[in-house]
Structure 1
Amino acid sequence: MKKILQILSLFSCYLLYSQANLPATENYIYSKNCLNDDCTRKTESVQYFDGLGRLKQNVMIAATPAGKDIVVPVEYDSYGRQVKNYLPIPQQSTQNGGIYTNPLSAATSIYGNEKIYSEKIPEASPLGRVTEQRNPGND
């Protein structure tokens, strides 16, 4: 009986540690995909949503070869349209799935002075049709 209690306490500590950095105040979906049978190789990601159910940030946990997070921020204009699509931004460290308050701060060390998003320019009407599209990078 003592061994069973030790195993259960060890397992519960593991569960608490594995998702300790996921905030209770944010809406998110945590995904874990096993790449082999015993799940020693896996991919983990967290998608954060705002109060309207729109994607706010996508965090791929320890996705770089150095074990750092990759973040894809999502930005909306005043009409709720996603006009900028950012490139994935490797961060300086890992937060084990925690949300990044300023993920764009690490972009200059990776991409330099290049523009790191594609941009859609909608027309000035309620339909919001795309009139122009700009690709990432400088001319």
Structure 2
Amino acid sequence: MKKNFLTLISLFGFVAVQGQRLPQDTTLNSYSNQINIQALKSITLQNGFHIPAPAAGKTVTISIVGFQNLLSTPTAGQNYIMTKTFRSPGVTLATLNAQRTIGDENQSIQYFDGLGRPSQTVQLMASPTYKDIVQHIEYDGFGRESTKYLPYGEKSGNGSFRASAKSTQSDFYKDGVGWDVAAVKTPNPYAVTVFENSPLNRVQQQGAPGSPWQPSANR
């Protein structure tokens, strides 16, 4: 018995298909009998979008055509460790630093402060629009990470250290200011840990991101 399949695939290496220039981003709320749905950066299927069962032997493809090259420029003067995750085979020591696309290689950069503690994590070009995903890290006067901040999407993608990450993260989640409409807005995009007032550093209260989940002392 034959079965009908909806095939979702990712392709790369092309800018135009059959003489037609593809859009950078595509948003669809209904299906118009296309066989191929393609874009260069992103395809957003809105609520309610559906594809009826195709006829026998028919395949519908939804694909991203053309990943961008990685553009990594870690900040000079900062201590950091770069982690590369290869998604295509054939990497050798001789080709370790060769130019690759975001589809072939993922990079994460962990920055450290002068005491050797993590201070910022940058996922290079990891957002749907190839911008960096940054997580700010800070410590209180006793060296504890008493406030843990949610990661946020930057407006650029180069892997650099963001000196204003704390304020930018707040703006990203701020209603009426944040530049990603899909991100849930909150004045408290962080989790607060309340420790007892003793050298034992035992946890008294544990909060979570969002106003309803703040410890009582922080409300």
- TM-score tier, shorter chain, comes to 0.7 to 0.9
Question: What's the counterpart of residue 4 of structure 1?
Answer: none
Q: TM-score, normalised by structure 1?
A: 0.78
Question: Does the alignment pair 1:131 with 2:131?
Answer: no
With 98-107 and 68-77 compared, the bigger mean Cα shift is at 98-107
User: Could you tell me how far 1:110 is from its partner in structure 2?
Assistant: 3.4
Q: For 2:195 and 2:169, how far apart are their aligned partners in 1?
A: 26
Question: Out of 87, 96, 103, which is 2:165 matched to?
Answer: 103
- 2:58 matched residue in structure 1: none
Deviation at 1:71, TM superposition (A): 0.5
Deviation at 1:18, TM superposition (A): 5.6
Q: What are the Cα deviations for residues 89-111 of structure 1, in whole angstroms up to 9, with x where unaligned?
A: 111112x1110011133334532
Moved more, 36-45 or 123-132: 36-45
Equivalent in the alignment of 1:51: 114
The answer to whether the Cα contact below 8 Å between 1:92 and 1:106 also exists between their aligned partners in 2 is: no
Rg: which structure is higher? 2
Q: Which residue of 1 aligns with 2:52?
A: none
Check 1:107–1:26 CA distance in 2 against 1; reply closer, same or farther (3 A cut). Answer: closer
Q: Work out whether residues 190 and 209 of structure 2, in 8 Å CA contact, stay in contact via their aligned partners in 1.
A: yes
Listed as ranges, the matches of 1:1-139 within 5 Å are 19=72, 21-37=73-89, 40=101, 41=103, 42-94=105-157, 96-112=158-174, 113-139=186-212
Question: Match of 2:167, SS?
Answer: helix
Quick check: 1:62–1:68 contact (8 Å CA) kept in 2?
yes
The CA RMSD over aligned residues, in Å, is 1.9
- Describe the SS at the equivalent of 2:168: helix
**Structure 1 28/63 Cα, relative in aligned 2: closer, same or farther at 3 Å?**
same
Amino acid in structure 2 at the alignment position of 1:66 = T
CA pair 108-129 structure 1, distance change in 2 beyond 3 A: closer
Query: Residues of 2 paired with 1:120 and 1:25: CA distance?
Result: 31
In the alignment, the residues of structure 1 paired with residue 171 and residue 78 of structure 2 have an alpha-carbon distance, to the nearest angstrom, of: 28
Q: Aligned residues, how many?
A: 121
Paired-residue identity, %: 38
2 CA distance for matches of 1:18 and 1:89?
Answer: 19
Larger RCO (CA under 8 A, 6+ residues apart):
1
User: Per residue, is there more helix in 1 or in 2?
Assistant: 1
| Structure 2 unmatched runs, 5+ | 1-69, 91-99, 175-185, 213-219
Q: Distance in 1 between matches of 2:129 and 2:135?
A: 18
Q: 1:108–1:50: structure 2 CA closer, same or farther, 3 Å change rule? A: closer
Q: Rate the CA distance shift 1:26–1:108 in 2: closer, same or farther, 3 A.
A: closer
1:132 Cα deviation after fit: 0.6
